[in-house]
Amino acid sequence: MTTSTLAYRSAQTASSDIAIQSNITFNCRDVNLFYGKFQALKHINLRMERKKITALIGPSGCGKSTFLRTLNRMNDLVRGCHIEGSINLNGVDIYKEMDPLVLRRNVGMVFQQPNPFPKSIYDNVAYGPRLKGITQKKVLDEIVEKSLRQAAIWDELKDRLKKSALGLSGGQQQRLCIARALAVEPSVLLMDEATSALDPISTARIEELVNTLKNKYTVIMVTHNMQQAQRIADNTAFFYMGEMVECADTHTLFNNPEKKQTIRYVSGDFG
C-alpha cells in the first residue's frame, strides 16, 4: 500500500485495518454494472487473496473482462457505464474513497493486445514514474532497470533502451508492458487475456514470469484458456452470463466443482 493511498483513507476505518492485516486484497460486495440499460454484471460477490494468482474464466461475453476493469475503474472511461455495490481494496472503497488515478497506480493493468507507446523502450517504462513527477535521470534509470529485470526482459533489451518499442516482437512487447506496469510499484497486477495474442513460447515465458511475480504482487488474470488457469492460478472464479457462478481454489474448481454450469464448462460442454 503506497503512502498516497494511505492519504486517501479516511480515519473512520477501524474495520479496514483488520482487512489490511488479513490476506484479502479486493473484496467485492454485490457489484452490479450497467452499460446504459444493459446489465453486464449481476450481484458479484468475490474476495481475492493477497499475493496469489486469481484467474477469471468463462465464455466470451460472460463479464469477466468487464469485472476486471471495474477493479481499476477503467470502466469509468466508458460512456453510460454505471456501477452499484462496493469494491474495497485493502479495506478502502475504491469508488467512494479513492481517486481513480491513485487507484490505477496501485492496481496496474496489462492488456490483451500488447500496447507499448510509440516511444523508446526506456520512455515506455519511465512513463508511469514520470507521471508521478520523478524527473531525476538517475532515479529513472534505476526504476527502468529494476522493472525490466522484474519482467525478465532486461538482458534482452539493455543494449537497445533508446530504440522504439514498436520494433519488438509481440511477446517482448507484452513483457515490456508488464515492466511498464511494475514501474509505478503497484500492489496488484490485472491481466486481461494478456497472452491470447501471443505464440505458445511467448505465452509460456509470460506464465513463468507471472508465477515469479506473485511473490510480490497480487495477480488477477482473465483468461479464456482453461489450461492456463490450471497451470498458474491459485484460485479460479467462473463467470457466466454476468454472474460469478463459483469461486474456489483452482484444483477444486476444475476437479470438484459444485455448480452444474461449472461442471459443464470445465468439462468442455460449452464455451
Partner 1 sequence: MSRNIKWRREFTGRGLVSLCGMAIVILTLAISVFLLVRGSETFVTFGHSLSEFLFGMTWKPADDMAGGGKVGAALFIAGSIITSMVALLIAVPFSVATAIFITKISPELGRKVIRPAVEIFAGIPSVVYGWVGLVVLVPWIQELFHLPQGQSILAASVVLSVMIYPTITSISADAIESVNPKFLEGAYGLGATRWQVIYSVLIPAAKRGILTAIILGLSRAFGEALAVAMVIGKMKAFPTSLLAPAHCLTAAIASDMGGAMDGGELNAALWSMALFLFIMSFLFIVAIRLIGRKGQANA
As measured in angstroms, the least distance from the Cβ of 109 to partner 1 is: 4
- Rounded Cα distance between 256 and 253, Å, is 6
**Residue 116 binds partner 1, judged by CB under 8 A:** yes
Residues 84-103 contacting partner 1, CB under 8 A: 101-103
Binding partner 1 (rule: CB under 8 A), the pick from 39, 115, 225, 252 is: 115
How far does CA 76 lie from the centroid of its chain?
16
The beta-strand segments (E) located in 105-252 are 107-110, 188-192, 218-222, 235-240, 243-249
Q: Closest separation between CB of residue 120 and partner 1, Å?
A: 12
One of 13, 22, 86, 164 touching partner 1 (CB under 8 A):
164
SS3 call for 88: strand
- Which H or E run includes 42? strand 38-49
CB nearer to partner 1: give 118 or 200: 118
- Within positions 183 to 212, which residues make up the interface with partner 1, using CB under 8 A? 184
To partner 1, the closest distance from the beta carbon of 128 in angstroms equals 4
Q: Which three cell numbers stand for residue 1?
A: 500500500
In the complex, least distance from residue 194 CB atom to partner 1, rounded to whole angstroms: 12
Question: In 136-193, which ranges are continuous DSSP H helix?
Answer: 137-150, 154-157, 170-182
Give the contact letters, 230-269, x = binds to partner 1 (CB under 8 A), - = no. Answer: ----------------------------------------
Cα distances from 149 to residues 50, 158, 192, 213, in angstroms, run 22, 10, 22, 11
When asked if residue 135 is in the footprint of partner 1 (CB under 8 A), the reply is no
Separation between Cα atoms, residue 80 and residue 102, nearest integer Å: 23
**Could you tell me how many residues of this chain bind partner 1 (CB under 8 A)?**
27
β-strand partners of 107? 188
166 binds partner 1 (CB under 8 A): yes
The smaller minimum CB distance to partner 1, of residues 47 and 104, is found at: 104
Shortest separation between residue 223's beta carbon and partner 1, angstroms? 18
Residue 119 binds partner 1, judged by CB under 8 A: yes
**105 contacts partner 1 (rule: CB under 8 A):** yes
Which residues does 191 contact at the CB level (< 8 Å), separation at least 6? 109, 110, 210, 219, 220, 221, 222
For position 83 contacting partner 1 by CB under 8 A, the verdict is: no
Asked whether position 78 contacts partner 1 by CB under 8 A, the answer is no
For residues 62 and 241, is the Cβ–Cβ distance under 8 A? yes
113 scored as a contact of partner 1 (CB under 8 A): yes
Provide the 8-state DSSP code for 120: B
- Interface contacts to partner 1, rule CB under 8 A: 72, 74, 77, 101-105, 108-109, 111, 113, 115-119, 127-128, 131-132, 164, 166, 177, 180-181, 184
